[in-house]
Amino acid sequence: MSIEREFEGKTVTDATIEACKELGITRDELNFEVIREGSSGVLGIGSRNAIIKVRDVESGNNDIQKNELDAVPMDTEKIEKIFRHIVDHFVEESEIEVEVQNRNILLKMKSSADLGFLIGKKGDMIKNLEFLLSRIASKQQSQSVLVGIDINSYRERKNDQLKEKVQSMVEKVVSINRPLSLNPMNSYERRISYLIIEQNNEVTYTTKEYGHLKKITIFPKKLDTNLS
Amino acid sequence: MDKVGELIKLIASSLVDKPEQVEIQEVIGDSTTVYELRVAQEDLGKIIGKQGKTARAIRVLLGAAAAKEKRRAVLEIIE
């Protein structure tokens, strides 16, 4: 069954966002045609909304796709083998547990030996390993797969620490009513931070590129204009 | 080839389209071992990665693996 629907927005982008929200699909899955480009007019006079026509909207289509994705058997053998190979180089005895969630693989590792080598300075080594293994896994599956590594619950502890830090930062911003910046973080850490920041509706945030990382600045919503 | 070399080879061949063309050569010096990695021309980008990210990750891993054996190791990617 094929349905056509039209969506309106200030710009084409706005219209597509609206359409995605309404249909519960991602931008990539959206099949649309631009009917009319929006124009802002002069000083808001004569402005026209953009209109797009979305084709092939099949209800239930989305669910089928999702099921198919889940059904793809994840071949973790190779990843496990490579990870084990790497790990064996550093420690003699270790236990590795593989967990598959959706399209992500989580490697849980436990050992009584010193695992500092595998963690690296500030988790550098873990991040590198995760990156490499993700690349390898994505290659094997021909779709993007994220590989996470947890060494003796290091990741869990680190996540908790980060959450605590962001939470205290948010509280501080509210109490002193001035913006504060967090250290540059990667996307995984930022995701955790955003979730914490968004829980507090007295603050908002901006993100700025910082090398290959990004820096989050938390602002109080009611900025005291007397301070500047 | 030693264990470190094998490790690099395993990782490199899992990243490329033509694993049969991955070659590693060791050049052993006084304190430093240089690993020369050769891959098919079209796979070079996969080994290096966006802004050298993949190459950097392999180098860090290599460095740590060698440090464990109290050696130094360098990865050279040969074009």
| Extents of the domains making up chain B | 3-78
For each of the domains in chain A, give its residue range(s) and CATH number, in order of start. Answer: 2-60 (no CATH), 67-152 (3.30.300.20), 156-220 (3.30.1370.50)
User: Which of B60, B69, B71 to mutate to probe the A interface, most A CBs <10 Å?
Assistant: B60
pLDDT at position B51 is 86
- Quick one: tokens of A218? 């938390």
B15 contacts A139? CB cut-off 8 A: yes
Interface residue B61 vs chain A (CB under 8 A): yes
Average pLDDT rounded to a whole number, residues B41-51: 89
Tens digits of per-residue pLDDT, A132-145?
Answer: 888 888 888 788 88
Instruction: Name the fold adopted by B3-78.
Output: GMP Synthetase; Chain A, domain 3 (3.30.300)
Q: Does B65 touch chain A (CB under 8 A)?
A: yes
CA dist., res. A171 & res. A178, Å (int): 11
Average pLDDT of the residues in A93-109: 80
**CA B15 – CA A1 distance, rounded (Å):** 42
Nearest to B19 by CA among A220, A1, A136: A136
Q: Is the pLDDT of residue A74 over 70?
A: no
* Closest-CA distance of chain A to residue B30, Å: 23
Residue contacts between A and B (CB atoms, under 8 Å):
52
Q: What pLDDT shows up at residue A212?
A: 79
pLDDT digits (tens, 9 = 90+) for A19-33: 777 777 777 777 777
Q: How far apart are CA A90 and CA A151, in angstroms?
A: 13
Residues of A in contact with B53 (CB under 8 A): 131, 212
Tell whether B62 lies on the interface with A, counting CB pairs under 8 A: no
The answer to whether B58 faces chain A, any CB pair under 8 Å, is yes
The ipTM is 0.86
Task: Mark yes or no for CB contact B58/A140 under 8 Å.
Answer: no
Residues of A in contact with B58 (CB under 8 A): 132
Average pLDDT along chain A: 78
Nearest Cα of chain B lies from the Cα of A118 at a distance, in angstroms, of 8
Q: What is the pTM of this model?
A: 0.63
Alpha-carbon distances of B76 from A70, A228, B14, B34, B37, rounded to whole Å: 40, 52, 18, 7, 6
Nearest-CA distance from B51 to chain A in Å?
A: 10
Q: How far apart are CA A64 and CA A27, in angstroms?
A: 18
Using one digit for the tens of pLDDT, what is the confidence trace for A154-194? 888 889 999 999 999 999 998 988 889 998 988 888 988 99
Can you say how many angstroms the Cα of residue A30 is from the centroid of all Cα atoms in its chain? 20
A130 contacts: CB under 8 Å, gap ≥ 6: A146, A147, A148, A149
Asked whether A74 and A100 are in contact (CB, 8 A), the reply is yes
In terms of CA atoms, which chain A residue is nearest residue B6? Answer: A85
Residue A71's pLDDT band (cuts 50, 70, 90): very low
A60 band by pLDDT with thresholds 50, 70 and 90: very low
Percentage of chain A modeled with pLDDT above 70:
86
User: Which residues fall within 8 angstroms of residue B15, CB to CB, at 6 or more apart?
Assistant: A132, A135, A136, A139, B43, B46, B47, B54
Task: Return d(Cα B38, Cα B9) in angstroms, integer.
Answer: 10
What does the mean pLDDT of chain B come to? 87
